[in-house]
Structure 1
Amino acid sequence: MQRPRPEINGQKITHEYLESLFEEECEWAFRFIQHEVAAIIKAMDIPDPFITRDGHRFSSLEAFCLLCARLRMGEDQYSLSTKYGRSQAAISQITNELAVWMEWRWEHLLGWDEDGIMHPNRLLEYAAAFHGFGVPSATIIALIDVTIRATCRPSFLQELAYTGYKKVHGMKFQALTVPNGLVAHLAGPYRAPQNDMGIYAESKLEQMMLEKAIQPGSSPEDPPERRYFQIYGDSAYGLSPVMISPYMAIGELTPAQKEWNKAMGQVRISVEHSFGLVSQQWPFMNCVQKQKIWGTRCGTFYKVAVLLTNAKSCLRPNQTAVRYNCMPPSLEEYFHH
């Protein structure tokens, strides 16, 4: 006999309420099922209770679920208020303040986390995974690209947010995707009109890799391909000791160069899959009318969406991890102190 469905309208989010949901309902509402919610709250060490600046008091469970519900759909806060028995003001404060807390507490995971997913041993693992899939080079560890997140037209300084290429207002983020399916490095937000190479220079990623992406056992006298690991990007990025891009020529490419470009083109799509996964999991980020550069924390929300997507990929490996047979770390390993 099926258990009765719980009443949705005005229902406070508690452990009992989550347990009363079917797994499909819980995932539809919050993107995670019941035991995953508990595991992420514990791994992220969310304060319990979480008290907003105006004194609204939330359990860590309610705070986390409300943030997920906010990112899960493009509905307004009135709709969330009628569903989950909290005022619009309280929901606004908890979603904003918890997102800020998550960014402050865990943003280092989206930098070059050499104690975690960018540890030298893991870099060897990534290079081997790509090479085993068919990448010609045995030293490529990640794929790089930039995404633009569309926003409302700002009321002032519009030229900083408008890109004539895409004909939208927005902001840009630069990401590195590794073969276990995680976004290992996220830089931004940057101005929308800025090109990819300008963002790469401003992010100082190259300097960071020259310091940290060094192959074990190499020496300073070794050539770049034996000294450093590399990342792969499109032709806009050019070449450097830590960057590889496709062969370009004024005339016809040689058959070997064409074959190399073809092999690399088969893996580069994985970084686009990472961007797509964030947008698919958290549709609120696609609601242009709710992304206001001077009015909402759209940059913070995107970083939090990436962290939550990485968390879900740790719990359930995504298509990129399966494709390269490179499994992500456990949730506890990823959210390390």
Structure 2
Amino acid sequence: MLRLPTSWGGSLFFYYSVTYTISQAVNWILAHVYSNWDFLLHDFSSPLASEHLSSVRLKLFAGKIHEKGALLTACWEFIDCTIREICRPTKWQRECCNGYRHMHAVKYSAVKAPDGLIDHLWGPFEESGLLSKCNEFASSYYLFGDPTYPVSSVLLSSFDNSTLTKEEKIFNKRMSSCREAVEWGFRIYHSPIGLQYRVATILTNIHVCLYGCETYFYFNCCPPSLENYLKKPDVNSTTKD
């Protein structure tokens, strides 16, 4: 019954409520989830980070990716860019205009683990501060992305397809097969509002914790329990330590 109703009209009939009442309830839920757990999508290097990204889990991620044929032994997650269409805003129309897709959109850099969870979702890569977080949090491991991302001590990418040696082609092919499995998780609910999309990502992660997903089954890497994923450590006790 938690999956019903599946449409706005069905909601009106199912709950015998007027439109603005349902809107208020939805907005309250969005605000509640966002204010309490949005840190799970960008703050994994802070004391409030979920325990599912412990050093033991990072080592597990790297091992699972390597077992699937990746040549890198310390690649722990994959990064990709996802562009989501939004309604035409009343302000910042020029900033939100995407010339590549010819629409108003918001661009996100998303980082996904082999257990199926999206651990980082922020705006343009240049503004995300992701590399500095990785230097503090996982300096012994690498993220892996396509050639559009800059290479650094914590981020590697496939070779450009212009002139490749045989070894470079093999490297690209084996890394690409693993990265494509992670891209399955970017097919999330399309939302016209940025806040809704971030909350939808958190809810998708919750669904993965409960039921798994294609990426989890491909890498055979179990996600954390829902309790561990949503658990927020005591800030006071963390500060004292």
1:258 aligns with 2:169: yes
Equivalent of 1:121, from 34, 56, 59? 56
1:195-234 correspondence to structure 2 within 5 Å: 199-214=124-139, 228-234=140-146
Q: Cα distance, 1:94 vs. partner? A: 1.0
In structure 1, what is the equivalent of residue 154 of structure 2? 242
In structure 2, what is the equivalent of residue 64 of structure 1? none
1:317 aligns with 2:228: no
In structure 2, what is the equivalent of residue 193 of structure 1? none
CA contact (8 A) 1:117 1:184 kept: no
**Residue aligned with 2:151, SS:** coil
**Residues of 2 paired with 1:154 and 1:324: CA distance?**
40
1:330 aligns with 2:241: no
Q: Cα distance, 1:97 vs. partner? A: 1.5
Which ranges of 4 or more aligned residues in structure 1 deviate by more than 4 Å?
none
CA contact (8 A) 1:176 1:271 kept: no
Q: Cα distance, 1:248 vs. partner? A: 2.5
In structure 1, what is the equivalent of residue 120 of structure 2? 185
Q: Cα distance, 1:312 vs. partner? A: 1.0
CA contact (8 A) 2:181 2:218 kept: no
Letter in 2 for 1:241: S
Unaligned runs of 5+ in 2: 233-241
Instruction: Give the aligned length.
Output: 228
Q: Cα distance, 1:157 vs. partner? A: 3.0
In structure 2, what is the equivalent of residue 9 of structure 1? none
Q: Cα distance, 1:154 vs. partner? A: 2.5
Letter in 1 for 2:39: H
Q: Cα distance, 1:261 vs. partner? A: 0.4
CA contact (8 A) 1:129 1:324 kept: yes
CA contact (8 A) 1:149 1:170 kept: yes
**Residues of 2 paired with 1:272 and 1:131: CA distance?**
17
CA contact (8 A) 2:81 2:109 kept: yes
Q: Cα distance, 1:80 vs. partner? A: 1.9
Tell me the TM-score normalized by structure 1.
0.64
**Residues of 1 paired with 2:55 and 2:43: CA distance?**
11
* 172-181 or 79-88, larger mean C-alpha shift: 79-88
In structure 2, what is the equivalent of residue 308 of structure 1? 203
1:1-337 correspondence to structure 2 within 5 Å: 18=1, 26-27=2-3, 29=4, 75-76=7-8, 79-113=10-44, 114-188=49-123, 199-214=124-139, 228-248=140-160, 252-276=163-187, 278-279=188-189, 285=190, 291=192, 298-337=193-232
CA contact (8 A) 2:108 2:125 kept: no
CA contact (8 A) 2:114 2:182 kept: no
Q: Cα distance, 1:249 vs. partner? A: 6.6
Structure of greater relative contact order (alpha carbons < 8 Å, 6+ residues apart): 2
RMSD of equivalent CA atoms: 1.7
Letter in 2 for 1:267: C
Instruction: Work out the percentage of aligned pairs sharing the same amino acid.
Output: 32
Letter in 1 for 2:217: V
Q: Cα distance, 1:115 vs. partner? A: 4.0
Q: Cα distance, 1:271 vs. partner? A: 3.5
**Residues of 2 paired with 1:143 and 1:231: CA distance?**
5
